[in-house]
Amino acid sequence: MAQIKLGELLIKANVLQESQLKAALAEQAKWGGKLGEILVRMSLVSEDILVRALSKQLGMPAVNLDAVQMVPPHVKAKISSQTARDFSVLPLQLRDDGKTLVVAMSDPLNVRMLDELRAVTKCRIVPNVAGRSSIARAFQRIYEENAELEDADTNFKVVDAQGRTVVKNLKDLDPAAAAVAAAPAARPPPPPPAPAATRPSTETPAVRPAASGSPAELLRSVEDVQRKEVAALKAMVELLIEKGVFSREEYLAKVKR
């Protein structure tokens, strides 16, 4: 039985219009890349809908990584954090006495990646479909769960779709926090004593700067910045093509390597 195309599947599910599919296909023909990721980047479908559509198209299970809070250490040890980040993959479960490894992948049809995972883990690989953003969020929980608690308020990382760290510190997004961090280390002179009725207890802890939003809001802001950067990069490449620096065919051949 022939595999139904992703675009046709989304149209039949009434989550995508024909005109939107044509726009995404034109974007793909012009710049290359995977249709599903282009649809998400253009905000034509959500990542959750894309994952469900891919699961149905490929006949492969989808996994809700937001419900996965931890992975057993012996399972996590099968794939290093660097490999997990580079491949956008997460180990989930060992089966068959350790001979089979179930993983979550954003690109489960990538044969080269599957071959490398088999070589690294010495296991048969069973892929489940998951979105890049959900893998990036789960990576933070699973591979960085031992981060120091005192860094939790300010040392918050946000990663992009490829798993690269985009924001390392909340003060990078919060001007007030940045100002506090840049202040001299010397202790300021004590304020005048407050009246007895309003004087705070000496046991009152210092108040930390408030975070500038929830992790989900920070992630959305980073994704917005990424979309703008992609648009700017495309405009620059288009200009270089128009100037004759290189052809569109040369560009597409380069990015497909």
Provide the whole-model pTM: 0.55
Range of the domain at 47: 6-58
**Which pLDDT score, from 0 to 100, does residue 177 have?**
45
Cβ-Cβ contacts under 8 Å for 58 (sequence gap 6 or more): 3, 108, 109, 129
161 and 239 belong to one structural domain: yes
Per-residue pLDDT at 81: 93
Together in a domain, 16 and 98: no
Q: What is the pLDDT along the chain (257 residues), one digit of tens a residue?
A: 456 788 888 998 888 999 999 999 999 898 888 888 899 999 999 999 999 999 998 899 999 999 998 899 999 999 999 999 999 999 999 999 999 999 999 989 899 999 999 999 999 999 999 999 999 999 998 887 644 433 444 444 555 555 555 555 544 544 444 444 444 444 455 555 555 444 444 444 444 444 456 666 666 676 777 777 777 777 777 777 777 777 777 777 666 55
Q: What is the DSSP string of 238-253?
A: HHHHHTTSS-HHHHHH
**Do residues 102 and 133 share a domain?**
yes
The pLDDT value recorded for residue 145 is: 62
Q: Where are the beta strands (DSSP E) in the chain?
A: 89-95, 100-105, 124-129, 158-159, 165-167
Kindly state whether residues 43 and 122 are assigned to the same domain: no
126 and 79, same structural domain? yes
pLDDT score recorded for residue 231: 73
pLDDT of residue 186: 43
